[in-house]
């Protein structure tokens, strides 16, 4: 619904509070990077000019908070939300005597964007679309919160999480053992190894500010083959899928925007359920998720992609974290 068809679900408040905390930590990483580069100031896209030796952290938090709360107007923002953001920033900075405070680190790159095409025969794809053939190679895209240097041969990726330490698909807690196989962390290592090929060892530290603190996983070049195998098998499953399986759980009509809403006629007319025994009651409108599933069965995925894609959206679009679009 989101990545292929381009539908957006409204962000939730907890995630937006995470964005605020991330932005403040990013600014502090730029403070340190500019000190390393012997610059006196830099211009941040949200808060403007920052003097690296004369800034007030509380003012930065306030400005970032005001910026995002003025953009994310679909929530009721309360004093408690500000207090949470403020305390989460300090928790991240003070953890283990400032171990993950970006100002105490040798910064390689804050907010490292990556877009890496995998130049292997297995990574090729080709689809016929209504606008002609779409072909290329699988590329992985994302943004790493922070990359720091430990020594000449070792880097440490730092990722902050303000939410629970849960695998939302299974509801199970993420343990150190599970994090070793976590796709996000492995992809970060894969991307960082391509961006910084001279660095052999990579720690990935994921810091659950509100749920257990930091967990560090070590990777080296030998891990790349396994990560690539993981990407390949997921990619092949997706490429070969003609009818995506619905993952129906209690979350559908509690948490998922596409399980709670129907199409509204602006682009796609809603379809009323005409069958018995479906998730939607007979004669009520199908949810967006169910209507798309219904149409895939009826018309095939290619026609559904052509009919349902949001006008102007292309499948390769990447929305950077912190973007308020």
| Residues of the shown chain interacting with ligand SF4 in the complex, contacts defined by CB under 6 A | 1, 246-248, 251-252, 256, 258-259, 289
Asked if 161 and 145 count as a contact pair (C-beta separation under 8 A), the reply is: no
Our CB check for ligand SF4 shows the closer of 232 and 248 to be: 248
Nearest distance, CB of residue 294 and ligand SF4, angstroms:
12
Our CB check for ligand SF4 shows the closer of 70 and 168 to be: 168
Q: How far is CA 57 from CA 61, 101, 209, 215, in A?
A: 6, 13, 18, 26
Our CB check for ligand SF4 shows the closer of 69 and 309 to be: 309
Our CB check for ligand SF4 shows the closer of 119 and 246 to be: 246
The span from the first CA to the last CA of the chain, in angstroms, equals 18
Tokens found for residue 59: 């003012």
Written in H, E and C, the secondary structure of 57-119 is HHHHHHHHHHHHHHHCCCCCCCHHHHHHHHHHHHHHHHHHHHCCCHHHCEEEEEEEEEEEECC
Asked if 19 and 322 count as a contact pair (C-beta separation under 8 A), the reply is: yes
Our CB check for ligand SF4 shows the closer of 49 and 281 to be: 281
Query: CA 295 to CA 288: how far, in whole Å?
Result: 11
Whose structure tokens read 């209690």? 250
Nearest distance, CB of residue 250 and ligand SF4, angstroms:
10
Q: Which residue is nearest to ligand SF4 (CB)?
A: 259
Nearest distance, CB of residue 235 and ligand SF4, angstroms:
20
Our CB check for ligand SF4 shows the closer of 160 and 258 to be: 258
Q: 3-state DSSP call for residue 269? A: coil
Q: How far is CA 281 from CA 6, 173, 258, 293, in A?
A: 27, 35, 16, 16
Nearest distance, CB of residue 2 and ligand SF4, angstroms:
9
Nearest distance, CB of residue 292 and ligand SF4, angstroms:
8
Q: 3-state DSSP call for residue 126? A: strand
Our CB check for ligand SF4 shows the closer of 86 and 293 to be: 293
Query: CA 321 to CA 127: how far, in whole Å?
Result: 28
Asked whether the CA dihedral 144, 186, 102, 160 is positive or negative, the reply is positive
Nearest distance, CB of residue 161 and ligand SF4, angstroms:
21
Our CB check for ligand SF4 shows the closer of 216 and 261 to be: 261
Nearest distance, CB of residue 152 and ligand SF4, angstroms:
45
Nearest distance, CB of residue 248 and ligand SF4, angstroms:
5
Nearest distance, CB of residue 237 and ligand SF4, angstroms:
16
Our CB check for ligand SF4 shows the closer of 12 and 180 to be: 12
DSSP E strands, the chain: 41-44, 48-51, 106-117, 124-129, 132-137, 139-151, 154-161, 166-167, 172-173, 201-208, 213-220
Whose structure tokens read 């009721």? 76
């Amino acid at each position: 619904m989101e990545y292929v068809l381009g539908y957006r679900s409204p962000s939730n408040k907890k995630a937006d509070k995470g964005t605020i905390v991330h932005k403040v930590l990013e600014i502090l990483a730029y403070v340190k990077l500019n000190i390393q580069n012997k610059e006196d100031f830099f211009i941040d896209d949200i808060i403007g000019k920052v003097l690296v030796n004369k800034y007030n952290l509380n003012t930065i938090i306030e400005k970032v908070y005001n910026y995002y709360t003025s953009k994310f107007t679909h929530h009721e923002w309360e004093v408690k939300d500000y207090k949470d953001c403020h305390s989460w920033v300090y928790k991240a900075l003070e953890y283990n005597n400032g171990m993950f405070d970006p100002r105490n680190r040798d910064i390689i790159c804050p907010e490292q964007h990556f877009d890496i095409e995998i130049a292997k025969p297995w990574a090729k794809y080709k689809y016929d679309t209504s606008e002609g053939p779409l072909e290329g190679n699988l590329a992985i895209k994302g943004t790493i919160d922070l990359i720091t240097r430990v020594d000449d041969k070792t880097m440490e990726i730092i990722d902050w999480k303000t939410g629970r330490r849960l695998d939302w698909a299974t509801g199970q807690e993420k343990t150190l053992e599970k994090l070793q196989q976590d796709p996000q962390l492995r992809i970060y290592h894969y991307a960082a190894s391509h961006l910084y090929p001279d660095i052999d060892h990579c720690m990935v530290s994921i810091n659950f500010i509100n749920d257990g603190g930091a967990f560090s996983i070590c990777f080296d070049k030998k891990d790349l083959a396994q990560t690539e195998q993981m990407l390949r098998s997921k990619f092949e499953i997706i490429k070969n899928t003609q009818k995506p399986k619905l993952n129906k759980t209690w979350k559908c009509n509690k948490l998922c925007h596409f399980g709670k809403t129907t199409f509204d006629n602006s682009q796609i007319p809603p379809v009323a359920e005409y069958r018995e025994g479906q998730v939607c009651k007979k004669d009520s409108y199908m949810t967006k998720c169910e209507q798309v599933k219904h149409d895939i069965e009826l018309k095939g995925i290619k026609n559904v992609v052509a009919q349902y894609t949001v006008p102007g959206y292309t499948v390769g679009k990447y929305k950077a974290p912190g973007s308020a679009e």
